[in-house]
């Protein structure tokens, strides 16, 4: 690693930090889709607990990355300025609401869904707050993280649909809509970065972007379209919906992993005015 005017890749956040954005975002999206599925009883409990487990796994990844794990409680002490603190508080409320929904308390599935949206928004703002990294400070990163988390959660929801049987055509169309929104935000985000990011970060993002556009957009949209127009038999629908969900989730997870671990290049130091001996600044 070299420090100076040339960009260098950050090393503070690694695959464990990426795991928080991947699992936490997907878990939040899963909770949202569970609420919109309108299920109840054991199915609601199982789906809600699965979403919370994903969020918890993401937070555990952050715990593993902490240099001094016994001081992890300090994350709750700075809510006025830290999006990580706000994420932690939101996660606490999300777990409480999700457990209440799983226990059958009426209305709490929707409370959990709202908190899940706030949670994934906090994730986007937390990443975007790193102003020294051009690929992260771009304002469009926030809607990209939110839309990706929701799409990943929907993808996992349909990947598990053969087990819970709660997938509907309207939810599948909603997933297809999220996929379109996600790729449009991605294209706008990538276009705005052309002149400001290091070529190595751009190459990493372009690789993830190709996977997002082809495997995470075109393939699932084609499958959703076939299902929507009734071109498939009843036995094929759950399998192809699950394949579409897997493609959506895998592409989103790889994009987040790339953003955190491979595209996180600092901009380097820039001194607009160099001091000259004997002259006033």
Q: Tens of pLDDT along 232-247? A: 777 788 899 999 999 9
| Residues 6+ positions from 160 with CB-CB distance below 8 Å | 47, 50, 242
Query: Does residue 268 carry a pLDDT above 80?
Result: no
Q: Is 187 exposed, middle or buried (0-12, 13-18, 19+ CB in 10 A)?
A: middle
Per-residue pLDDT of 154-211, as tens digits, reads 999 999 998 898 989 999 999 999 999 999 999 999 999 998 899 999 999 999 999 9
Q: Which two tokens stand for residue 89?
A: 């508080």
Element (DSSP H or E) covering residue 95: helix 83-102
CA-nearest of 165, 132, 265, 269 to 205 is 265
Domains along the chain?
Answer: 15-261 (1.20.1630.10)
For residue 149, count CB atoms less than 10 angstroms from its CB and return exposed for 0-12, middle for 13-18, buried for 19 or more. Answer: buried
Banded model confidence at residue 213, pLDDT cuts 50, 70, 90: very high
Q: What is the pLDDT of residues 86-144, one digit of tens each?
A: 999 999 999 999 999 999 999 999 999 999 999 999 999 999 998 889 999 999 999 99
- The 10 Å Cβ neighbour count of residue 234 is 6
> For residues 47 and 163, what is the distance between their CA atoms, to the nearest angstrom?
10
* Residue in 161, 72, 150 with CA at minimum distance from that of residue 116: 150
CA-based angle 147:149:150, to the nearest 5?
Answer: 65
Q: What mean pLDDT is reported for the chain?
A: 90
Convert 250-271 to b/e letters by CB count within 10 Å (16 or more is b). Answer: bbbbbbbbbbbbbbbbbbeeee
Q: Of the candidates 117, 111, 88, 85, which has an alpha carbon nearest to the alpha carbon of residue 98?
A: 111
What is the per-residue pLDDT for 195?
87
Q: For the full predicted model, state whether its pTM sits above 0.85.
A: yes
As a residue count, the chain comes to: 281
Task: Give the percent of the chain with pLDDT over 70.
Answer: 91
Token pair in block for residue 272: 């607009």
- Token couple for 225: 């379209």
Taken in order 160, 161, 167, 169, the sign of the CA dihedral is positive
- Residue 265 phi, psi dihedral angles, 5° rounding: -90, 130
Question: Quick one: what percent of the chain has pLDDT higher than 90?
Answer: 70
d(C-alpha 258, C-alpha 205), whole Å: 7
What digits encode the pLDDT tens for the residues 136-150? 999 999 999 999 999
Count other C-beta atoms under 10 Å from residue 184's C-beta. 13
Residue that the structure tokens 């995470």 belong to: 216
């Amino acid at each position: 690693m070299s420090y100076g005017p040339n960009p260098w890749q950050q090393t503070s956040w690694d695959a464990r930090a990426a795991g928080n954005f991947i699992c936490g975002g997907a878990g939040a999206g899963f909770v949202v889709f569970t609420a919109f599925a309108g299920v109840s009883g054991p199915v609601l409990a199982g789906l809600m607990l699965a979403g919370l487990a994903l969020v918890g796994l993401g937070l555990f990844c952050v715990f593993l990355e902490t240099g001094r794990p016994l001081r992890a409680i300090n994350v709750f002490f700075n809510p006025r300025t830290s999006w990580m603190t706000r994420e932690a508080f939101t996660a606490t409320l999300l777990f409480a609401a999700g457990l209440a929904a799983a226990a059958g308390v009426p209305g709490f599935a929707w409370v959990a869904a709202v908190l899940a949206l706030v949670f994934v928004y906090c994730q986007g703002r937390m990443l975007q707050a790193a102003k020294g990294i051009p690929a992260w400070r771009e304002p469009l990163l926030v809607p990209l993280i939110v839309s990706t988390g929701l799409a990943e959660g929907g993808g996992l929801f349909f990947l598990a649909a053969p087990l819970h049987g709660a997938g509907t055509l309207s939810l599948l169309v909603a997933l297809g809509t999220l996929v379109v929104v996600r790729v449009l935000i991605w294209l706008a985000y990538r276009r705005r970065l052309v002149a400001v990011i290091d070529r190595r970060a751009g190459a990493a993002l372009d690789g993830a972007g190709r996977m997002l556009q082809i495997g995470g957009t075109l393939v699932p949209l084609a499958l959703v379209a076939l299902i929507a127009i009734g071109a498939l038999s009843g036995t094929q629908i759950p399998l192809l919906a699950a394949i579409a969900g897997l493609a959506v989730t895998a592409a989103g997870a790889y994009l987040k992993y790339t953003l955190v671990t491979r595209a996180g290049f600092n901009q380097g130091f820039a001194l607009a005015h160099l001091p000259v001996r004997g002259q006033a600044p």
